[in-house]
Amino acid sequence: MTKTAGRLLGAAMMTLAPLAALPAVARADELRLVFDIPTNHPRVPYFTAMAEDVAKTTSGRLTIAANPGGTIYPGFASIEALKAGKAELTFVNAANLERLDARFGFVNLPFALDDTAMAQPAARRGVVDLLDTLAQKQDLRVIGLMRGADQLFVFRDKRVATPADLKGLKIRVAGPGTYEDIMRRLSAEPVVLPIPEMKPAFERGALDGVFTSPGAWTSQLGMAAPKATHAPGLMMITYVLVARKDAIDRLSTADRDALLAAARANITEGWGRMETDDAAILKDMAAKGAAIVTVTDLKPWREAVSPVAASFSERFPDTWRDFRAQIGADRK
């Protein structure tokens, strides 16, 4: 664990610490939640709200402890922590699930998942169900899906308007698999780094640019990376709330229902609020002087990355079909 990671998670523990003080009516149960998102990231309040709802609904019988011991498990390490029994819950970039099963990649495909589809409650629930079905084969559960962002590229001094402008650039991505495939199709060189490692790598010049969310841009890089390019729909990234299956199963029915309801209400159903949050961040960054290029001609971008989805559909036709059915893609 890095010193930076330790500072971030020390703050995270303080964020949810008051919950542990709630009185227990019966046998108290605690779920350990690990995540690598910095505590100044605009998505963290949604975690906190979920934990508060769980504690309130169960009258303190069930609580959630954030990053206990101040330990951060970055990226896929958080999944490994679940598998090893070091935690019961994690919020993790969905790209990391692809290391367990490449079929999870459906949720990361370019120009696939979008805000229009996910505005529908049935679509949100359907995507969670698809992820959960795959997760249960790994003795895990996916109980929530968080809107990460309609991703954008950020740079210190580069202006990018077309895929050709990315040729040969070292671009940070949050996880393996689909992220990397997209960058390679854009002729960029992907560099996989979880969010705690992004800022140090950028500051030491190891990266030409970063593919990230508005939340990570403003909380980690800010005006140190004042140039941004947004190709709408290129990649909608998500965070998944993953649980150990046995941890869910051992809860009482009432406590299990409270956890699942809190995850649904604060995480999965928060999609629209998170979209609004990101729009406000982009407006604020522009007001500070950031130059944001919004691509209007998406044809070259679509053409460049179309083989990514085509390959997935050939390898996993059943998952591809089920995903498109859930988001209503064939009805568009």
Phi and psi for 169 in degrees, rounded to 5?
A: -80, 140
227, 260: one domain: no
- What are the pLDDT digits (tens) for 5-25? 444 344 444 444 443 433 333
- What are the pLDDT digits (tens) for 47-78? 999 999 999 999 999 999 999 999 999 999 99
- What are the pLDDT digits (tens) for 120-179? 999 999 999 999 999 999 999 999 999 999 999 999 999 999 999 999 999 999 999 999
Q: Kindly tell me if the per-residue pLDDT of 332 is higher than 80.
A: no
How high does pLDDT run on average in the chain?
Answer: 92
- Give the Cα separation of 39 and 219 in Å (integer): 9
Q: Are strands 89-93 and 236-244 parallel, antiparallel or unpaired?
A: antiparallel
Token pair in block for residue 222: 């800010």
- Give the Cα separation of 208 and 313 in Å (integer): 32
205-232: string of b/e by CB count within 10 Å (b at 16+)?
A: eebbbbbbbbbbbbbbbeeebbbbbbbb
Q: List the single range of 23-37, 44-58, 209-223, 270-284 with lowest mean pLDDT.
A: 23-37
84, 181: one domain: no
CA-nearest of 171, 178, 121 to 326 is: 121
**Domain region containing 15:** 3-147+238-277
* pLDDT score at 27: 47
129, 271: one domain: yes
- Give the Cα separation of 150 and 207 in Å (integer): 21
| 278 Cβ neighbours under 8 A, 6+ residues apart | 149, 150, 213, 214, 215
* pLDDT score at 320: 98
- What are the pLDDT digits (tens) for 284-330? 999 999 999 999 999 999 999 999 999 999 999 999 999 999 998 75
- What are the pLDDT digits (tens) for 109-135? 999 999 999 999 999 999 999 999 999
25, 125: one domain: yes
The secondary structure of 263-305 as a DSSP string is: HHHHTGGGHHHHHHHHHHHHHHHHHTT-EEEEPS--HHHHHHH
115, 157: one domain: no
Interval 36-56 mean pLDDT: 95
Q: Kindly tell me if the per-residue pLDDT of 79 is higher than 80.
A: yes
Q: Are strands 29-35 and 89-93 parallel, antiparallel or unpaired?
A: parallel
| Number of structural domains the chain divides into | 2
- Give the Cα separation of 64 and 251 in Å (integer): 13
Question: What is the CATH number for 182?
Answer: 3.40.190.170
Query: pLDDT over 90 for what percent of the chain?
Result: 90
- Give the Cα separation of 330 and 268 in Å (integer): 23
231, 242: one domain: no
290, 222: one domain: yes
161, 97: one domain: no
* pLDDT score at 201: 97
35, 106: one domain: yes
176, 136: one domain: no
* pLDDT score at 28: 66
172, 307: one domain: yes
272, 195: one domain: no
